[in-house]
């Protein structure tokens, strides 16, 4: 858990983001984006306490390279198993993201996925209010100017000044609910710790973890050179894909971004800085409860978020979470100087 070389890499990324911003600004002047979708939700079979359903999506707007469909259940239904999509649920809110083979949708193209779920044996209402990429699925297309990176987020994107968390699942990695659940628990513990230490804390997105189906297999993230040392290859390849898919900057004034990828390779690690935390496979495994005691992963996230908020490593093992004392979590703390650094730093305004 350290930030070796990350600052250098993120500065380079920030320069690239500026260049991308110029290109996007020019495009805004010449292009209007069309967005729209139609969703057909069908309950296939239903039995005492359980049911299966199919969800068909038709893209009525511009071509999509990937998709994320969201909706809310209104009668307490829960999803237990899904196929042809990665599906997560937080309370009544459901997020479904494309599988590796069905993310590309040309205008007029359709795809579908299915799931098994539970219901209350009284009401199993068909949900409404589907959104695809933040756009309401009304059965028709609408046209609007393509937003620039400085435009306020459109409906369906997280509010500004929140912490976004991504789990990037390579195309050959099987979906496992323990990962988004475990990462959620780690982030909520870090949120509690910041409140304890600072009297203020950050806001998490809802649902906390955005599951991203990677474009490449695990070996590609591990073995494609990026950011210099092999230590950074997996996490820098992840960060590049997240930035491309979600229009993220480095740094990004709208969100603090936390990315974990289920890929590692020899010597892979991660770090934090400039509003980002980027972590590799062993951190994702740890959050999922598959690698060592949980206090190590709680302390590690607090440490890397400290970097994301602008703190350097401590110069010695001094009892602060910005040193090797993170391994003693929760028996590490921020010093007063570190607290001042967070509150007065570039992301201090994210805390409330």
Q: Tell me, what's the pLDDT at 156?
A: 57
Fold of 6-22+155-350: Collagenase (Catalytic Domain) (3.40.390)
How wide is the angle at C-alpha 214 spanned by C-alphas 208 and 182, nearest 5°?
35
Q: Tell me, what's the pLDDT at 33?
A: 53
Question: Cα dihedral angle (212, 213, 217, 221), rounded to 10 degrees?
Answer: -20
Picking from 254, 245, 236, the residue whose alpha carbon sits closest to that of residue 211 is 245
Q: Tell me, what's the pLDDT at 96?
A: 92
Fold of 33-144: Immunoglobulin-like (2.60.40)
Picking from 254, 287, 284, 249, the residue whose alpha carbon sits closest to that of residue 13 is 249
Kindly tell me the burial class for residue 269, based on how many C-beta atoms sit within 10 Å of its own C-beta (0-12, 13-18, 19 or more).
Answer: buried
Q: Tell me, what's the pLDDT at 129?
A: 86
Q: Tell me, what's the pLDDT at 4?
A: 43
Q: Tell me, what's the pLDDT at 346?
A: 92
Picking from 300, 87, 53, the residue whose alpha carbon sits closest to that of residue 181 is 87
Kindly tell me the burial class for residue 332, based on how many C-beta atoms sit within 10 Å of its own C-beta (0-12, 13-18, 19 or more).
Answer: buried
Question: Cα dihedral angle (87, 90, 95, 101), rounded to 10 degrees?
Answer: -20
Contact present, 37 and 137 (Cβ < 8 Å): yes
Q: For the chain, how many residues are written? A: 352
Ranges in the chain, pLDDT < 50 = 1-32, 144-155
pTM over 0.85: no
Contact present, 76 and 52 (Cβ < 8 Å): no
Q: Tell me, what's the pLDDT at 93?
A: 87
Q: What residue ranges of the chain are covered by domains with CATH 3.40.390.10?
A: 6-22+155-350
42 strand-pairing partners: 54
> For 275-314, how does the pLDDT look when each residue is reduced to its tens digit (9 = 90+)?
999 999 999 999 998 877 888 899 999 999 999 999 999 9
Q: What residue ranges of the chain are covered by domains with CATH 2.60.40.290?
A: 33-144
């Amino acid at each position: 858990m350290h930030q070796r070389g990350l600052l250098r890499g993120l500065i380079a990324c920030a320069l690239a983001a500026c260049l991308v911003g110029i290109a996007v600004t020019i495009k805004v002047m010449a292009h209007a984006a069309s967005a729209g979708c139609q969703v057909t939700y069908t309950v296939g079979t239903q039995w005492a306490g359980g049911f299966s359903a199919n969800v068909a999506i038709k893209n009525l707007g511009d071509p999509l390279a990937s998709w994320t469909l969201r909706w809310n259940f209104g009668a307490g239904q829960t999803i237990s198993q899904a196929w042809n999509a990665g599906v997560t649920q937080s309370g009544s809110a459901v997020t479904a993201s494309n599988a590796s083979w069905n993310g590309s949708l040309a205008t007029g193209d359709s795809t579908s996925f299915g799931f098994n779920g539970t219901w209350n044996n009284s009401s199993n209402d068909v949900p409404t209010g589907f959104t695809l990429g933040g756009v309401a699925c009304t059965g028709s297309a609408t046209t609007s100017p393509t937003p620039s990176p400085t435009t306020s987020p459109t409906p369906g994107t997280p509010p500004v000044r929140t912490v976004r968390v991504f789990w990037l699942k390579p195309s050959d990695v099987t979906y496992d609910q323990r990962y988004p659940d475990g990462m959620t628990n780690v982030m909520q513990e870090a949120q509690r710790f910041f409140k304890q230490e600072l009297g203020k804390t950050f806001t998490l997105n809802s649902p906390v973890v955005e599951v991203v189906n990677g474009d490449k297999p695990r070996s590609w993230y591990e073995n494609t050179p990026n950011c210099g040392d092999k230590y950074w290859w997996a996490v820098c390849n992840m960060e590049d894909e997240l930035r491309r898919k979600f229009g993220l900057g480095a740094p990004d004034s709208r969100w603090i971004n936390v990315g974990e990828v289920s890929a590692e390779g020899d010597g892979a690690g991660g770090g934090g800085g400039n509003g980002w935390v980027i972590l590799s496979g062993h951190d994702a495994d740890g959050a999922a409860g598959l690698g060592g005691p949980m206090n190590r992963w709680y302390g590690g996230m607090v440490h890397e978020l400290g970097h994301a908020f602008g703190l350097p490593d401590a110069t010695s093992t001094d009892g602060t979470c910005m040193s090797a004392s993170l391994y003693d979590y929760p028996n590490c703390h921020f010093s007063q100087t570190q607290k001042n650094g967070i509150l007065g730093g570039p992301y201090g305004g994210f805390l409330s």
